[in-house]
Amino acid sequence: MTKFVTAAEAVALISDRATVAVSGHAGFGTPDGLFKALRDRYNATHHPQALTLVKLASTGDKGVRGGSRLAADGLIDTLITSHVGLEPALATYIQENKCLTYTLPAGTMIRLYRAIAAGAKGIWTDIGLRTLADPRLEGCKGNVRTALEGEDIVSLMQIDGKEYLYYKTFPIQVCLIRGSIADEDGNISLQREAMIGEQLEIAEAVHNSGGIVIVQVEQLVPQGTLDPRLVKIHHFLVDYVVVPRPKYHYQSFSCHGYRPELTGDTRKKVSVMPHYMLDNRKICARRAAMELKKDSFINLGIGMPEIIGAVAAEEGFGHRLTLSTDSGIIGGFPLSDMDMGAAVNPEAELKMADMFDIYDGGGLDVSALGLAEIDRNGNVNVSKFHGRVIGPGGFINISQNTKKLILMGTFTAGGLREQCAQGRLQIEREGRYKKFKKQVEQITFSGPYAAARHQEVIIVTERAVFTLTAQGLMLTEIAPGMDLERNILGQMEFQPLISPALTVMDVRIFKDEVMGLKDEI
C-alpha cells in the first residue's frame, strides 16, 4: 500500500552504500525536492554514504539545482550516467576523482533498466562499438580513478561471428522519480510533464529488485479521479509519494510556471519558429537543409542543428519533415539548453525508451548533430574535453545507425567572427581553437566503424564541407571567398583528402534571402 510522506521521511529510507536510481532530463522529470532533502540529510547526519547513483541524463540547471545538489564529498561513491553537462558541481566531482564514474550511451541505460525489471542477467548490443563504450578503448570508464580502480561493467563478446558489447545487470535498492499527479491510491500521472521519460522503467527495475519506489508529484487528487489512460505508473509499483514545496517542482528549471504548449495540453498553438539572422550558424543550417528529403524522419541535435527546422520552415518545406528528439518527442519546435528534449506544439509524445528502440534499430533517415572536434579518420568527440567529463548522452544511439549523419559546427571556435557580403564569406577574426584535430580526446563516434558499414556521413561547416570515406575525411566544397590554403588547410591539424571534383558551396547559402529550396527537396 502506497504511503504519503514528507521528503525528509522519504530520503531517511536510503541506507549507506545503496544503489539509487533517479529520473530526469534537464529539469523535466527531475525530483528536485527529493534531491534537496537528500542533500539536507547528508549535511546534517553525514548519511547516507557511498551511494551508487544511477541516472540517465543531466538533471540540472547549470547551477546548484538537480544533480549538482548531490556533489558532496562521501555521498556518492559510484556514478553511472550518460551525461552531466548541466550539472557543473557533479562534473567537477568527477574530474577531481571523488567517485568512480561510468558514462554509458543513454539508450543502453534504458535497456539496462528494462533488463533489470525483466530479471535478465545482462544485455547485448552493438551500440557503442569502437567508441568510448568499447572495452578496447575506455569501457565506459569516465575518469582516472575508474580506469585504475573501477570494475569492468562492459565486455566484448561475439555471437555468430559478430561483435557485441555485454553489460551485466545489477539490483537497485531505491529510486527517486517524478510524476505530475498522484491519486489517493498512489497511481501516478505524467500529464503535466513535457516528456514521458524513464520513470516507469526505473520503477519497474526497482520494484522487481525488491527495492523502494519513491515518487515526487505536484499534487494529490481524490481516488478514482485520474483518467486511467493518463496513469503511467500504477500504485502497485509505488511505495511512497511526496508532495514538495512548489519551488522544488517546477515543470522546467527555465521557468516557474506551467507551459501547456510543451505537453499538448492546449488547443491553442503557440507560434515560436524564430527567424535567424544570416550568420555562420545559419549558413551551416542552410547547407545541412540541402541534404534533407521530404517525408524524412529526422533527429535534430542540441544547438546549431536545431536551426535546420527554422530554415526548413523559412524555405516552405518544414511541414514535410518529421522532427524528433531522443526524449520521445515528435513534431513541434524543439527547444534547447535547460529545455532540451522538449518541444513547443509537439505532435506526439512517445516513451523515451520506445524512441531509443526506433533509433537503435535504424529508424532514422537523417540525424544532424553538433560537432565539437573531429580527426582525419572521422572520429568525433562531444563527450570529454581537457579531462572534464560531459558524457555521450544520446549521441551514440542517434549517430550509429541513422541512414545519413550530418555533423555540424563552425570550422574553428573561441572568438570566431565572420560575416557575409555579396554572397561571399568573410572572416573578420579567426577562432582560437581548431576543431579538426590530429587526434580527438575521446571517441563518441567512430569514423572508421561508420565507413566500414558504408554509412553516409557529411561534415558541414560555414566554410567547407567534407564527406567520410574509407580513407578518411575528404574535402568536397569550400565557401565562396575562402582561400583553400589559408582559411581551410591552414586551420586544420591534418591534411584531408581533397576531392578532384572540389566545388564552391552554393552561393545562395550566403545571401540574406530565401534560397528557393522548397521545390528542390
Query: Quick one: average pLDDT of 256-272?
Result: 69
Q: Which residues of 357-375 are buried (b: 16+ CB within 10 A; e: fewer)?
A: bbbbeeebbbbbbbbbbbb
* pLDDT-derived band at 187, boundaries 50, 70, 90: very high
pLDDT in tens, 26-81: 889 999 999 999 999 999 999 999 999 999 999 999 999 999 999 999 999 999 99
Model pLDDT, residue 502:
98
Model pLDDT, residue 266:
59
Q: Which residues of 103-134 are buried (b: 16+ CB within 10 A; e: fewer)?
A: bbbbbbbbbbbbbbbeeeeebebebbbbbbbb
Class of domain 3-248: alpha beta
CB atoms closer than 10 angstroms to residue 432: 10
This prediction has a pTM of 0.95
pLDDT in tens, 273-328: 667 899 999 999 999 999 999 999 999 998 899 899 889 999 999 889 999 999 99
Could you say which DSSP state residue 432 is in? S
Residue 380 C-alpha from the chain's centroid? 15
| Selected residue with higher pLDDT from 247 and 506 | 506
Model pLDDT, residue 340:
82
Residue whose C-alpha is closest to residue 242's, from 191, 310, 186:
186
Model pLDDT, residue 272:
60
Model pLDDT, residue 246:
85
Is the pLDDT confidence value at 184 over 60? Answer: yes
Query: Quick one: average pLDDT of 81-110?
Result: 97
Query: Quick one: average pLDDT of 198-221?
Result: 98
Which residues, other chains included, contact 508 with Cβ-Cβ below 8 Å and sequence gap of 6+? 423, 515, 516
The answer to which of 87-96, 263-272, 322-331 has the lowest mean pLDDT is: 263-272
Is the pLDDT confidence value at 267 over 60? Answer: no
Question: Does 280-510 match 3-248 at the fold level?
Answer: yes
CATH superfamily of 280-510: Glutaconate Coenzyme A-transferase (3.40.1080.10)
CB atoms closer than 10 angstroms to residue 271: 8
Query: Quick one: average pLDDT of 359-388?
Result: 96
Model pLDDT, residue 265:
67
Q: Helices 280-289 & 307-315, crossing angle to 10 degrees?
A: 60
The percentage of the chain sitting over the pLDDT mark of 90, rounded to a whole number, equals: 86
Is the pLDDT confidence value at 472 over 90? Answer: yes
Query: Quick one: average pLDDT of 448-471?
Result: 98
Q: Tell me the sheet residues that pair with 196.
A: 351
Question: Can you give the residue ranges of every domain in the chain?
Answer: 3-248, 280-510
Query: Quick one: average pLDDT of 366-375?
Result: 97
Mean pLDDT of the chain: 95
pLDDT in tens, 141-161: 999 999 999 999 999 999 999
Q: Which amino acid is at 288?
A: A
Range list of H helices, 141-239: 144-149, 199-208
Rounded distance, CA 337 to CA 62, Å? 9
Model pLDDT, residue 273:
63
Q: Tell me the sheet residues that pair with 416.
A: none
Is the pLDDT confidence value at 256 over 80? Answer: no
Model pLDDT, residue 268:
53
